[in-house]
Copies of this chain bind each other. A is one copy, B any other.
Amino acid sequence: MTNKISIHEIARRSNVSIATVSRVLNNKGPVKQETRDQIIRIARELNYKPNSTARSLSRRKTDSIGVILPELVDEFFMNIIQGIDEEAHRYNRYLMISSSHSQRNDIETILEFMSSGRVDGVILMAPSFNDEIYEIIQKSHCPVVLLNPGTTRKDIIGFSIDNYNGAKTIVSHLMGHGYEKIGIIRGPVHNIDAQQRFKGYYDALTAGSLKYSEAYDVSGDFSLKSGYYAFTRLMSQSDRPRAIFACNDYMALGAYQAARNMNIRIPDDVALAGFDDVFSSGIVNPRLTTIHIPIIELSRRALSYLVKMIDGDIDSTAPYQETVSTGLVIGSSCGCKQSTAQY
Q: A residues within 8 Å of B by Cβ?
A: 1-3, 47, 49-54, 56-57, 60-62, 64, 73-75, 77-79, 81-82, 85-86, 89, 94-99, 101, 105, 111-112, 115-121, 142, 224-225, 228, 253-254, 256-257, 260, 279-280, 283-285, 343
**Pair A142/B1 contact, Cβ less than 8 Å:** yes
Complex alpha-carbon distance, A322 and B117, angstroms: 37
**A78-B77, A280-B280 known; A343 vs B97 contact (CB < 8 Å):** no
**Pair A50/B96 contact, Cβ less than 8 Å:** no
Which single residue of chain B is at the shortest CB-CB distance from A86?
B101
**Pair B283/A285 contact, Cβ less than 8 Å:** no
**Pair B51/A117 contact, Cβ less than 8 Å:** yes
Complex alpha-carbon distance, A50 and B254, angstroms: 48
Complex alpha-carbon distance, A224 and B1, angstroms: 42
- Pairs across A and B, CB under 8 Å, 6 listed: A1-B120, A53-B53, A53-B117, A257-B343, A280-B280, A280-B283
Complex alpha-carbon distance, A260 and B81, angstroms: 34
**Pair A53/B50 contact, Cβ less than 8 Å:** no
Chain B residues near A260 (CB-CB < 8 A)? 285
How near does chain B come to A200, taking the closest CB pair, in angstroms?
26
Partner of A118, one of B52, B61, B112, B115: B52
Partner of A343, one of B79, B121, B224, B280: B224
Complex alpha-carbon distance, A260 and B332, angstroms: 15
Which single residue of chain B is at the shortest CB-CB distance from A142?
B1
Which of A61, A260, A280 has its CB near the most chain B CB atoms (within 10 A)?
A280
How near does chain B come to A32, taking the closest CB pair, in angstroms?
28
Partner of A78, one of B3, B74, B253: B74
Chain B residues near A56 (CB-CB < 8 A)? 53
Partner of A97, one of B49, B57, B95, B105: B95
Chain B residues near A284 (CB-CB < 8 A)? 283-285
**Pair B283/A118 contact, Cβ less than 8 Å:** no
Complex alpha-carbon distance, A61 and B253, angstroms: 47
**A77-B78, A280-B280 known; A52 vs B343 contact (CB < 8 Å):** no
Complex alpha-carbon distance, A98 and B50, angstroms: 20
How near does chain B come to A183, taking the closest CB pair, in angstroms?
21
